[in-house]
Amino acid sequence: MNMLEVEGLSVGYARKGLALEDISLKVAKGGIVALLGANGAGKTTLIRAVSGLLSLHHGHVAAGSVRLAGQAILGMPPHRLVRLGMGQVPEGRLVFKQLSVEDNLRVGAAILPRAAVGERMEAVYQLFPRLLERRTQAAGWLSGGEQQMLALGRALVASPTLLLVDELSLGLAPLIVQAIYKQLRVVGDTLGTSMLIVEQNARLALEFAESAYILDRGRIVLSGSAAEVAASERMKESYLGAQRGSAVAPGAPT
């Protein structure tokens, strides 16, 4: 069973033409998929379309379909998608900076039955002990790595079946990124959460994911297992703009 199915999706913005054209991809139940591509390739547009946020950015779907666990979801508002099991960690973290760490988590837990909130928040604190230490502190005073942990925790507290993560490593120190990915691995292994990961660090993403898609100017130009994509010359040329035979640079920008 596929947790996410995107078929023939074309997306445009007012007076800018199509940003995505005929995109099809799948995330299996419990699967982890990396979405790679250069800046402007359409990665964030795809996340917006899947998560119901496209209209907020004056975008529109020209064609195609998106299904979550077999249910058509295009046009659904974000709050309905959350109730259906979708969680999102947006690019730039976007925590509520004037709220405490604990109140940020309570925002993510708003859809849960009251009796389940304490247990789920405790689970997040076990994943990220630093958040427990900072639970009464305003989120705006956290470090970048702590804010990323909080953004992840806010999405995970509702036990999503599908997690969308946009540029997790952006602006963070490598050791912090590795620690966060280690905890994401725990989430995948223990909860079976399906994940679609948009990541600027190609090597890291391909080590973490099971399969990958590469976007280039709004089209998918390569897909396959993570190992196949990592070894592909097309990946080096399309994604990195490198010369044939050059190495994949760690931390290459998306």
Q: Which tens digit of pLDDT belongs to each residue from 215-228?
A: 989 999 999 999 99
Give me 116's structure tokens: 């389940």
DSSP state of 136: T
Confidence at residue 242, expressed as pLDDT on a 0 to 100 scale: 42
Separation between Cα atoms, residue 72 and residue 2, nearest integer Å:
13
Partner residues linked to 215 by β-bridges:
37, 220
| Residue 193 near residue 163 (C-beta atoms within 8 A) | yes
Separation between Cα atoms, residue 70 and residue 156, nearest integer Å:
22
Partner residues linked to 113 by β-bridges:
none
Which pLDDT tens digit goes with each residue over 182-213? 888 999 888 889 999 998 788 888 999 999 99
Residue 103: closest CA among 66, 62, 157: 157
- Whether residue 174 is predicted with pLDDT greater than 50 in this model: the reply is yes
Separation between Cα atoms, residue 240 and residue 236, nearest integer Å:
5
Confidence at residue 247, expressed as pLDDT on a 0 to 100 scale: 37
**Domain ranges within the chain, ordered by starting residue:** 1-85+162-172+194-254, 91-159
- Whether residue 253 is predicted with pLDDT greater than 60 in this model: the reply is no
Residue 173 pLDDT level (bands cut at 50, 70, 90): confident
CB-based burial label for 43 (10 Å; 0-12, 13-18, 19+): buried
Separation between Cα atoms, residue 206 and residue 88, nearest integer Å:
20
Between 34 and 242, name the one with better pLDDT: 34
Fold held by 1-85+162-172+194-254: Rossmann fold (3.40.50)
Which pLDDT tens digit goes with each residue over 76-101? 999 999 999 999 988 777 888 999 99
Between 3 and 241, name the one with better pLDDT: 3
Output the CA torsion sign for 71, 82, 131, 97: positive
Give me 4's structure tokens: 């996410």
Strand pairing class (162-166; 194-198): parallel
